[in-house]
Amino acid sequence: MIRVDSQTVDAAPRAKEASQATGTLKRNALGVLGILFFVLSAQAPLTGIAGAVPIAVAVGNGPGAPAAYAVAGAVILLFSVGFVAMGRHVVNAGAFYTYIGKGLGRTTGSGSAAVALFAYCTVQAAMYGLYGFTVGGLVQHYGGVQISWWVWALVTMVVVQALGAAGIEIGAKVLAVFVLAEFSILLAFAVVTLVKGGGPEGLGVAHTFSPGAVLQGAPGVALMFAVASMFGFEATAIYGEEAREPHRTVPRATYLSVAVVTGFFAFTSWMLVSSYGPSKVTEAAGKALAGGDSTVFVFAPIADQFGGWVNDVLPVLLATSLFAGILAFHNSANRYLFSLSREGLLPGRLRSLNQRHSPGAAGAVQTAIAVLLVMPFAVAGKDPVLTLFSWFSGVGVLACMLLYFLTSVSVIVFFRRERLDTRRWNTLIAPALGAFGIAAVIWVVLANFTTLIGGDATTATWLVLAVPAVLLLGAAAARLVHARTAGH
């Protein structure tokens, strides 16, 4: 007979409480594929294809748009080399702001944390706008019931909050189902089109990937939308504390995610161009935009390939794609809040963990921020796609590009000073090339920002100014906190 006394019984709960009190995220919860699904869901593949590709083709460089995704992928890959090198020495749920702080100082790092939160929360709010509109349309079409978009947004906020609080493994499993569904149908279309030899004009390799094709029209606009579609891959580092063997898992997940995302967007958009024919694709994309529903440009050739049932399935997958992206950004943002609290820059309550070792309090605050960002558009009766989605996705992309640039510069400064890694390609050359490429993208985004947000010049100016304002306010607030802490 085995004797179990009260001291032994109470040990496990006390250990669990101690772990929660120290603000430690659940260890060994995610592998490479788990992190990859979080990254891919943040990209919302079907949303990126159906939303960005028609604009990149119609307004950008026409049949050369797929090459813009390859160029964007190359820039992001160069950035990733330094990003991964820094990640081998710094494992923290704060990712961006921790990396930037290591190289450019704690104040700049704290300011960048405010920018990161701003980026993730605005992009998530943008997705709520498009999601609410999409779900509302589906319910009206199939159920004959008309319910305002913001109602669906609020209901989904509750669901996302519950899934976020349920733990990182639950979220990864939910995202895996949605991501695989949308990836499967898009890749099936692309592969079948390739095997058949392309559309009416063949594969059109020269019309898509030759230098002349890439530089025709407005290639900067296409590049801008290509980079926007890849936003979110850096979440690999955010989940470093919850990864199994983070020094191996995070680099593998980062490079794999960049490769998969670049290959997917370039290949799928190429097959879309081929399905119409390079000489006709720009006109087809323009008609879809003029008709007010850009998804027709993507859905129509897939339906021609597989049958009319696609027109019933793809709108549903678009909704689940948006939901997956919303959940991914919720998890990224609440881990930023958690990490900032642990650093003493936000109230200590935000670093508390629930029974599932998930930052429950931070998640609740992130959900409250989503409500505050979304509901003013509902109260004002604004179009959720033309305003909420367009404005916030544009400013979110600009904010993230600034973070990429600061991170690249920080990597160079950090390794020149610390000499922890003497590989020049990883710590100097690639980060410098990445910083140059990202700076070029920022210039292109600023030059075309009014087009990106689909608004007017005044709105564009205020949104652009919001990014440096958030950086300065975050840095100033951090200095005040540090000064108060030092005084005590």
418-435 pLDDT per residue, tens: 888 888 998 999 999 999
DSSP state of 358: S
Averaged confidence pLDDT in the chain:
82
Q: What integer pLDDT is reported at residue 51 of this predicted model? A: 80
Residues of the chain with pLDDT under 70: 1-43, 90-95, 167-176, 232-248, 354-358, 486-488
Residue 89, burial from CB neighbour count under 10 angstroms (0-12, 13-18, 19+): middle
Q: What integer pLDDT is reported at residue 13 of this predicted model? A: 42
The per-residue DSSP string of 398-415 comes to: HHHHHHHHHHHHHHHHHH
Q: What integer pLDDT is reported at residue 254 of this predicted model? A: 79
Model pTM? 0.82
Q: What integer pLDDT is reported at residue 74 of this predicted model? A: 92
Q: Which H helix or E strand runs over 56? A: none
Contact 128, 319 (CB under 8 A): no
